Chains A and B, each alone.
Chain A
């Protein structure tokens, strides 16, 4: 008899149930929402913010459908986009610059679904609208910049050791030092070799001069490149936060590329401007001679005394700084949070390169007791990050900035110091923009293709194979259900090619059922009993189904490995579709056939369409 053991039936039922739960959120649609996230990592994210948001809504009479807190921020849903936009403006005004308020779309699915992690499929940019950029980091520039730093370092080191040289210069990514004397070269080589083990040193002659060439070895090159791309990504993160994009994606791709995806962004010119912006750091002296109340009062109104600039610090207080720049951020090689060993207070430790160290030593020697302002200049606006007092002359290029409130602030400021500027220039080498109406069109196109195709297949299968056709169609529907459920669970990005892959997966998956049905017919034709025919039909078709799916799977995997962008989206769905089809076409359809026929003792014929006996 054709019966499944109980556990198999239960297993099939459970899988379908799970599939249903995770598919449901896709039917609730999305409503306009705002997302409130802390702009700085120092700002705490807790239920207080939730209460604050709710009270703002009550005071301003903004009707909201729901508001909740999750790991990333507070989210609130609204009935329509007008309320959404008003809520955004009101919230941004009330909460100030500590929080980023972004427009977003949120699923309307009920809370119990959200609590089991059931979310709608994650739509790609071509379906929801937005901008995609591929940025190329100029690694040659990053390496030249590193080499440039060595030029200064070498000069300093050689002078310190009193080694006489003719000149130090940079050619591309190698630094060359010219000597008159072989003995000096040997001494220099020993010192540089010891201090910079990651440089490859070669000797050569140029006329009467002896030349020592230092080039970055592969390990060092890789380290510099890794650092450059990490820092650029960090900088991009900071900048995109300002744009107020709800779910930006910033990812490294390959060794020297960054993908930036900004869903919902329409103003591409502004986005490009912000991505391509260069931020600079400056260190200037605070004008301590003019700190009387009257001058400060005037300064607050934007009137700076001659020779001074007035900028606001992070608390909004005006600070008068001298116009002359003591040091620029180009000299900073690293910055990190630390703790002062004596006072136990939080600090930011900045490392300057050799030239920067020399300049900084001189500035601090001459200005002990005065304040130094560290400025971040971005998009034409300048902010005083911090203005610590100089306690003593600082040499060696290691600067400790004290006065940090806590570890968070120390981390934040070191991040700003490091990430304020790009480590290497970047170019946009690929841009894909999809307008919001286009996104909706694309969704409709994908859904219409799938549904009409499915309907046509369903009719043909049922006409041709009768009850077995109906079983096949049911199995195909469950295949669609499982595929959508898995895509929702994985939160894999669904693109238009992905939607096409869903349609194609259904068109191909029906093959397994056709194989089975044809086999069952054939067994019947050969004069076997209906029960034996079902058994043999499924058994024999299985081998063929497996073989043919493996070849399709190979194609899918190769697409996934070598594809980028749209192709990858296609490949993911294609591969998943093959896997779910093997489950639904074989296991699920057999379970259904078993229920229909497996329990009948006297079965004289199957509803599988007419069969001509040979």
Chain B
């Protein structure tokens, strides 16, 4: 079976304006949602308490609410999740009451109201911890970006590094935009998913860039646009199959992962879908506009190749530094 039977290169770069326009619009929309709606931060970041309570019978939300109100927690939200037996209670940080006291108070109030209530999960985070997690999350994002830029710079060229990171930061903003628009809860695992997506979709750019570099060596007569078009076309089959496989796994998590992994898988899904598009159709045009050329990519390799060529044919197989495979 072969899905992709492409005879001629697809002129991706001539769609450059269109793809950039699409990107810009989604990006601007994402920023607008982030600014107007903001992220719905989970207790990991804001501080507060989440309790998951299970009842053997269908839970009576009104009674649960009354029980929580009875200890003076008017800001609490009480809702069903998963099934009618499960209730999720969210409490904001309360001044003067430590997180551990608060959760005990609520627990005893719930058990008093209904002795069959089983508290299955409690997460209480003090306000100061939340602030730090927020800060560390930002730092992690910064260092991931920096590390990737440096690596691509060393391995390829600064134009590629800049193009790849712009394309992928644009993915991150779009994921955040989705979370802002739908007001999905943004917690630590979602942050982990976003950082994992960042590393993963940079892969995508790397695969294409590798091919671009190889093509510059092989296709000596071709223009830069032709080289890039050919690279994207030749790697397209791999791109789509790989992403389908990864998405299959993520989809399985979305189906079976339950409450805790739901938003994690959701962030990955958005990241993978936009990652395919941006790392190819955003990164390549940017690299092109930044002026990637044969000379600045394989400048000195070129000379060595020429020297080698005069001795023997250099077209067979390039020497590879690894003896791993």
Chain A contacts for B10, CB-based, 8 A: none
Check B120 for interface membership: any CB of A closer than 8 A.
yes
Check A71 for interface membership: any CB of B closer than 8 A.
no
Check A567 for interface membership: any CB of B closer than 8 A.
yes
A567-B191 contact in complex given A431-B99, A554-B144, C-beta closer than 8 Å: yes
Q: Which residues of A contact B (CB under 8 A)?
A: 126, 133-134, 136, 268-269, 272, 427-435, 437-438, 441-442, 445-446, 448-450, 452-454, 456-457, 460-461, 463-464, 496-497, 500, 503-504, 506-508, 510-511, 514-515, 518, 521-522, 536, 538-540, 542-544, 546-559, 561-567, 570-571, 574, 586-587, 590, 609-612, 614
A551 touches B151 (CB 8 A): yes
Chain B contacts for A544, CB-based, 8 A: 206-207, 210-211
The stretch among B56-64, B121-129, B298-306 that forms the contact with chain A is B121-129
B195 touches A555 (CB 8 A): yes
| 6 sampled A-B residue pairs with Cβ under 8 A | A445-B258, A449-B253, A453-B252, A511-B245, A559-B144, A563-B188
**Residue of A446, A450, A507, A551 touching B206 (CB-CB under 8 A):** A551
Chain B contacts for A507, CB-based, 8 A: 245-250
Q: How many residues belonging to B are interface residues under a CB distance threshold of 8 Å? A: 81
B258 touches A441 (CB 8 A): yes
B249 touches A134 (CB 8 A): no
Chain A contacts for B235, CB-based, 8 A: 518
The 9 closest A-B pairs by CB, nearest first: A555-B199, A507-B249, A453-B252, A429-B126, A548-B203, A453-B249, A562-B140, A554-B147, A428-B100
Chain B contacts for A442, CB-based, 8 A: 258, 260
The stretch among B20-28, B29-37, B68-76, B236-244 that forms the contact with chain A is B236-244
B325 touches A539 (CB 8 A): yes
A429 touches B128 (CB 8 A): yes
Chain B contacts for A435, CB-based, 8 A: 118-121
Chain A contacts for B255, CB-based, 8 A: 449, 452
**Residue of A134, A456, A464, A555 touching B1 (CB-CB under 8 A):** A464
A542 touches B320 (CB 8 A): yes
State A603–B253 Cα separation when bound (angstroms): 41
User: Which residue from chain B places its CB closest to the CB of A496 in the assembled complex?
Assistant: B260
A134-B129 contact in complex given A558-B195, A610-B1, C-beta closer than 8 Å: yes
Check B148 for interface membership: any CB of A closer than 8 A.
yes
B123 touches A431 (CB 8 A): yes
A464-B325 contact in complex given A511-B246, A552-B203, A558-B147, C-beta closer than 8 Å: no
CB distance from A478 to the nearest CB of B (A): 16
Chain B contacts for A562, CB-based, 8 A: 136-137, 139-140, 143
User: Which residue from chain A places its CB closest to the CB of B251 in the assembled complex?
Assistant: A453
Check B261 for interface membership: any CB of A closer than 8 A.
yes
A551 touches B207 (CB 8 A): no
Check B98 for interface membership: any CB of A closer than 8 A.
yes
**Residue of B124, B137, B206, B261 touching A547 (CB-CB under 8 A):** B206
State A515–B253 Cα separation when bound (angstroms): 24
A548-B249 contact in complex given A430-B129, A431-B124, A555-B148, C-beta closer than 8 Å: no
CB distance from B308 to the nearest CB of A (A): 18
A587-B249 contact in complex given A430-B125, A504-B268, C-beta closer than 8 Å: no
A510 touches B242 (CB 8 A): yes
Check B307 for interface membership: any CB of A closer than 8 A.
no
**Given A429-B126, A500-B257, A539-B325, 11 new contacts (CB under 8 A):** A133-B100, A268-B107, A428-B126, A429-B129, A433-B122, A510-B246, A540-B214, A547-B210, A551-B199, A609-B2, A612-B5
Check B181 for interface membership: any CB of A closer than 8 A.
no
B189 touches A445 (CB 8 A): no
Chain B contacts for A548, CB-based, 8 A: 202-203, 206-207
User: Which residue from chain A places its CB closest to the CB of B234 in the assembled complex?
Assistant: A522
CB distance from A546 to the nearest CB of B (A): 7
Question: B1-29, CB under 8 A of A: which get 1 and which 0?
Answer: 11101010000000000000000000000
State A442–B124 Cα separation when bound (angstroms): 19
**Residue of A433, A434, A551 touching B148 (CB-CB under 8 A):** A551
Check B289 for interface membership: any CB of A closer than 8 A.
no
Chain B contacts for A453, CB-based, 8 A: 248-253
State A464–B3 Cα separation when bound (angstroms): 9
Chain B contacts for A555, CB-based, 8 A: 144, 147-148, 195-196, 198-200, 202
Chain A contacts for B118, CB-based, 8 A: 435, 437
CB distance from A538 to the nearest CB of B (A): 5
A438-B121 contact in complex given A431-B99, A567-B191, A610-B1, C-beta closer than 8 Å: yes
Chain A contacts for B320, CB-based, 8 A: 539-540, 542-543
Name B82-133 residues within 8 Å CB distance of A: 98-100, 103-104, 107, 118-126, 128-129, 133
B202 touches A551 (CB 8 A): yes
A542-B325 contact in complex given A438-B52, A453-B249, C-beta closer than 8 Å: yes
State A540–B2 Cα separation when bound (angstroms): 21
CB distance from A432 to the nearest CB of B (A): 5
A433 touches B119 (CB 8 A): yes
B151 touches A456 (CB 8 A): no
User: Which residue from chain B places its CB closest to the CB of A500 in the assembled complex?
Assistant: B261
Name B274-325 residues within 8 Å CB distance of A: 317, 320, 322, 324-325
State A518–B136 Cα separation when bound (angstroms): 39
Chain B contacts for A614, CB-based, 8 A: 7
State A456–B261 Cα separation when bound (angstroms): 19
**Residue of B103, B214, B261 touching A449 (CB-CB under 8 A):** B261
CB distance from B207 to the nearest CB of A (A): 5
A542-B120 contact in complex given A503-B253, A511-B242, C-beta closer than 8 Å: no
Chain B contacts for A434, CB-based, 8 A: 120-121
CB distance from A507 to the nearest CB of B (A): 3
State A475–B84 Cα separation when bound (angstroms): 43
A445-B98 contact in complex given A134-B129, A574-B196, C-beta closer than 8 Å: no
CB distance from B138 to the nearest CB of A (A): 9
Chain A contacts for B257, CB-based, 8 A: 445-446, 449, 500
State A553–B325 Cα separation when bound (angstroms): 20
Chain A contacts for B248, CB-based, 8 A: 453, 456-457, 460, 507
